[in-house]
Structure 1
Amino acid sequence: MSLNAWKLELCSYSSSNTATIPAYGRDLQHRKPPKSNISAQLRRLQDHDFPDDARQLNNNNVDVFERSTEGKDASISGRTDSEERNVGENVASLGLASCLKTRDIRDFNKAVPVAPLVLSDPGDPIVQVPASISSRLLEHQNGGVQFLYNLYKKNHGGVLGDDMGLGKTIQTIAFLSAIIGNSTDEEEYQGDQRRNRINGGPILIVCPTSVIHNWGDEFSKWGDLSFSIYHGPNRDLILEKIVGGTVDILITSFDTFRINDKTLCKIQWDVVVVDEAHRLKNEKSGLYKSCVGLQTKKRFGLTGTIMQNKISELFNLFDWVSPGSLGTREHFRDFYDEPLKHGQRLSAPERFVRIADERKQHLSSVLKKYLLRRTKEETIGHLMLGKEDNVVFCTMSELQKRAYRRMLEQPEIQTLIHKDLPCGCGSPLKQVECCNRTVPDGILWSWLHKDNPDGCDSCPFCLVLPCIVKLQQISNHLELIKPNPKDDTEKQKKDAELASAIFGSDVGLVGGSTQNESFMELSDVEHCGKMQALGRLVSLWVSHGDKILLFSYSVRILDILEKFLIRRSYCFSRLDGSTPMNLRQSLVDDFNRCPSKQVFLISTRAGGLGLNLVSANHVVIFDPNWNPSQDLQAQDRSFRYGQKRHVVVFRFLAAGSVEELVYSRQIYKQQLSNIAVSGKMEKRYFEGIQDCKDFQGELFGICNLFRDLSDKLFTSEIIEQHGETGEKDSNTKLVLGSTLENKDLGVVYSHRNEDVVNMGGRDASSSLIENHETSRKCKREEFMLIAEFMGMRELEFSKWILSASTTVLEEMLQKYKKSKC
Structure 2
Amino acid sequence: MSLLNSFKETLKPCKNPSSSSSSPISHYSQHSVSLQFDPTINPRKPPKSSLSQQLLRLQDPLSLPQTQSQSQQRQTQVEDEGEDEDEEDEKQDVFGRPKLDSFQFDHTGPFEPLVLSLPGEIPVIQVPASINCRLLEHQRGGVKFLYNLYKNNHGGILGDDMGLGKTIQTIAFLAAVFGQDGEFCVSVYHGANRDLILEKLEACGVEILITSFDTYRIHGSILSEFPWEIVIIDEAHRLKNEKSKLYRACLEIKTRKRFGLTGTIMQNKIMELFNLFDWVVPGCLGTREHFREFYDEPLKHGQRSTAPERFVRVAEERKQHLVAVLRKYLLRRTKEETIGHLLMGKEDNVVFCAMSDLQKRVYSRMLQLPDIQCLINKDLPCSCGSPLTQVECCKRTVPNGTIWPYLHRDNPDGCDSCPFCLVLPCLVKLQQISNHLELIKPNPRDDPDKQRKDAEFASAVFGTDINLVGGNSQNESFMGLSDVKHCGKMRALEKLMFTWVSKGDKILLFSYSVRMLDILEKFLIRKGCYFSRLDGSTPTGLRQSLVDDFNSSPSKQVFLISTRAGGLGLNLVSANRVVIFDPNWNPAQDLQAQDRSFRYGQKRHVVVFRLLAAGSLEELVYSRQVYKQQLSNIAVSGKMEKRYFEGVQDCKEFQGELFGICNLFRDLSDKLFTSEIIELHEKQGKEYGHHLRKEQDLDELGMLFVPSKEASETTSGSETSKPKGMERSKLTKPVLEDLGILYAHRNEDIVNFGSGVQGKEKASMPQNESPGQPCFPAVGRRKSDVAGGKENASSKRQKKSQYSLLAQSMGMGEVEFSKWLLSATSAEREKTLRDYKKRKEKNPVG
Query: Is the structural similarity TM-score above 0.5?
Result: yes
Cα distance, 1:652–1:245 mapped onto 2, change above 3 Å: same
Superposition deviation, residue 180 in structure 1: 1.1
**Cross-structure match for 2:405:** 446
Superposition deviation, residue 768 in structure 1: 3.9
Superposition deviation, residue 9 in structure 1: 3.7
Cα distance, 1:467–1:626 mapped onto 2, change above 3 Å: same
Residue 121 of structure 1 aligns to a residue whose secondary structure is: coil
> CA offsets per residue over residues 178-229 of structure 1, 9 Å max, x none?
1111113xxxxxxxxxxxxxxxxxxxxxxxxxxxxxxxxxxxxxxx322122
Q: Are the aligned partners of 2:496 and 2:705 in contact in 1 as well (CA < 8 Å)?
A: no
**Cross-structure match for 1:230:** 189
> CA offsets per residue over residues 338-385 of structure 1, 9 Å max, x none?
000000000000111011011101100000000000010000111111
**Cross-structure match for 1:130:** 128
The code of the aligned residue for 1:142 comes to R
**Cross-structure match for 1:700:** 659
**Cross-structure match for 1:10:** 19
Q: Are the aligned partners of 1:147 and 1:372 in contact in 2 as well (CA < 8 Å)?
A: yes
**Cross-structure match for 1:206:** none
**Cross-structure match for 2:798:** none
Structure 1: gaps (5+ residues) = 1-5, 13-23, 29-45, 64-92, 98-104, 185-223, 783-821
**2:492 is equivalent to residue 498 of structure 1:** no
Residue 234 of structure 1 aligns to a residue whose secondary structure is: helix
Residue 468 of structure 2 aligns to a residue whose secondary structure is: helix
**Cross-structure match for 1:304:** 263
**Cross-structure match for 1:757:** 751
Superposition deviation, residue 685 in structure 1: 0.1
Query: Which residue, out of 117, 135, 138, partners 1:120?
Result: 117
Residue 50 of structure 1 aligns to a residue whose secondary structure is: helix
Q: Are the aligned partners of 2:316 and 2:759 in contact in 1 as well (CA < 8 Å)?
A: no
Query: Which residue, out of 306, 310, 326, partners 1:347?
Result: 306
> CA offsets per residue over residues 588-629 of structure 1, 9 Å max, x none?
111111111000000111111211111111111100100001
Cα distance, 1:376–1:316 mapped onto 2, change above 3 Å: same
- Aligned ranges 1:312-711 → 2 under 5 Å: 312-711=271-670
- TM-score (normalizing by structure 2): 0.76
Q: Are the aligned partners of 1:62 and 1:110 in contact in 2 as well (CA < 8 Å)?
A: no
**Cross-structure match for 1:83:** none
Q: Are the aligned partners of 1:8 and 1:111 in contact in 2 as well (CA < 8 Å)?
A: no
Structure 2: gaps (5+ residues) = 1-14, 27-48, 68-97, 686-690, 707-731, 768-772, 775-782, 789-846
**2:53 is equivalent to residue 50 of structure 1:** yes
> CA offsets per residue over residues 674-718 of structure 1, 9 Å max, x none?
000000000000000000000000000000000010110110111
**2:235 is equivalent to residue 265 of structure 1:** no
Q: Are the aligned partners of 2:108 and 2:134 in contact in 1 as well (CA < 8 Å)?
A: no
Query: Which residue, out of 763, 766, 773, partners 1:771?
Result: 766
Cα distance, 1:338–1:641 mapped onto 2, change above 3 Å: same
- Partner Cα distance (1:302, 1:696) in 2: 34
Superposition deviation, residue 282 in structure 1: 0.6
**Cross-structure match for 2:157:** 159
Cα distance, 1:495–1:48 mapped onto 2, change above 3 Å: farther
Cα distance, 1:710–1:472 mapped onto 2, change above 3 Å: same
Cα distance, 1:597–1:450 mapped onto 2, change above 3 Å: same
Residue 657 of structure 2 aligns to a residue whose secondary structure is: coil
Of structures 1 and 2, the one scoring higher in RCO (CA 8 A, sep 6+) is 2
Residue 609 of structure 2 aligns to a residue whose secondary structure is: strand
Bigger mean CA deviation after superposition, 313-322 or 161-170: 161-170
> CA offsets per residue over residues 296-349 of structure 1, 9 Å max, x none?
111011111100000000000000000000011111011100000000000000
- Partner Cα distance (1:293, 1:47) in 2: 33
The code of the aligned residue for 1:168 comes to K
Say how many residue pairs are matched: 670
Residue 51 of structure 1 aligns to a residue whose secondary structure is: helix
**Cross-structure match for 2:139:** 141
The code of the aligned residue for 1:144 comes to G
Bigger mean CA deviation after superposition, 265-274 or 739-748: 739-748
**Cross-structure match for 1:171:** 169
- Partner Cα distance (1:645, 1:598) in 2: 15
Superposition deviation, residue 112 in structure 1: 3.7
- Partner Cα distance (1:54, 1:638) in 2: 12
Residue 238 of structure 2 aligns to a residue whose secondary structure is: helix
Superposition deviation, residue 262 in structure 1: 0.8
The code of the aligned residue for 1:377 comes to E
Superposition deviation, residue 771 in structure 1: 2.4
The code of the aligned residue for 1:734 comes to E
Cα distance, 1:269–1:463 mapped onto 2, change above 3 Å: same
Q: Are the aligned partners of 2:642 and 2:753 in contact in 1 as well (CA < 8 Å)?
A: yes
- Partner Cα distance (1:154, 1:173) in 2: 19
Cα distance, 1:114–1:153 mapped onto 2, change above 3 Å: same
Superposition deviation, residue 157 in structure 1: 0.6
The code of the aligned residue for 1:654 comes to A
> CA offsets per residue over residues 221-259 of structure 1, 9 Å max, x none?
xxx322122121111112222332222211111111000
- TM-score (normalizing by structure 1): 0.78
Please provide the CA RMSD for this pair.
2.7
Q: Are the aligned partners of 1:573 and 1:597 in contact in 2 as well (CA < 8 Å)?
A: yes
Superposition deviation, residue 721 in structure 1: 1.3
> CA offsets per residue over residues 124-178 of structure 1, 9 Å max, x none?
1211111121111111111111101100111101001111111111111111111
**Cross-structure match for 1:243:** 202
Q: Percent identity?
A: 70
**2:239 is equivalent to residue 280 of structure 1:** yes
- Partner Cα distance (1:555, 1:48) in 2: 35
The code of the aligned residue for 1:636 comes to D
- Partner Cα distance (1:27, 1:433) in 2: 72
**2:691 is equivalent to residue 732 of structure 1:** no
Superposition deviation, residue 95 in structure 1: 6.7
**Cross-structure match for 2:802:** none
Q: Are the aligned partners of 1:8 and 1:112 in contact in 2 as well (CA < 8 Å)?
A: no
- Partner Cα distance (2:51, 2:328) in 1: 37
Cα distance, 1:160–1:378 mapped onto 2, change above 3 Å: same
Q: Are the aligned partners of 1:53 and 1:167 in contact in 2 as well (CA < 8 Å)?
A: no
**Cross-structure match for 1:745:** 739
Cα distance, 1:52–1:593 mapped onto 2, change above 3 Å: farther
Q: Are the aligned partners of 1:417 and 1:706 in contact in 2 as well (CA < 8 Å)?
A: yes
Residue 742 of structure 2 aligns to a residue whose secondary structure is: strand
- Partner Cα distance (2:765, 2:523) in 1: 47
- Partner Cα distance (2:316, 2:376) in 1: 36
Q: Are the aligned partners of 1:52 and 1:641 in contact in 2 as well (CA < 8 Å)?
A: no
Q: Are the aligned partners of 1:684 and 1:761 in contact in 2 as well (CA < 8 Å)?
A: no
The code of the aligned residue for 1:731 comes to D
Q: Are the aligned partners of 2:57 and 2:600 in contact in 1 as well (CA < 8 Å)?
A: no
**Cross-structure match for 2:803:** none
Superposition deviation, residue 266 in structure 1: 0.6
Superposition deviation, residue 94 in structure 1: 5.2
Q: Are the aligned partners of 2:143 and 2:172 in contact in 1 as well (CA < 8 Å)?
A: yes
> CA offsets per residue over residues 707-732 of structure 1, 9 Å max, x none?
01011011011112114345644321
- Partner Cα distance (2:479, 2:378) in 1: 44
Cα distance, 1:657–1:26 mapped onto 2, change above 3 Å: closer
Q: Are the aligned partners of 2:16 and 2:111 in contact in 1 as well (CA < 8 Å)?
A: no
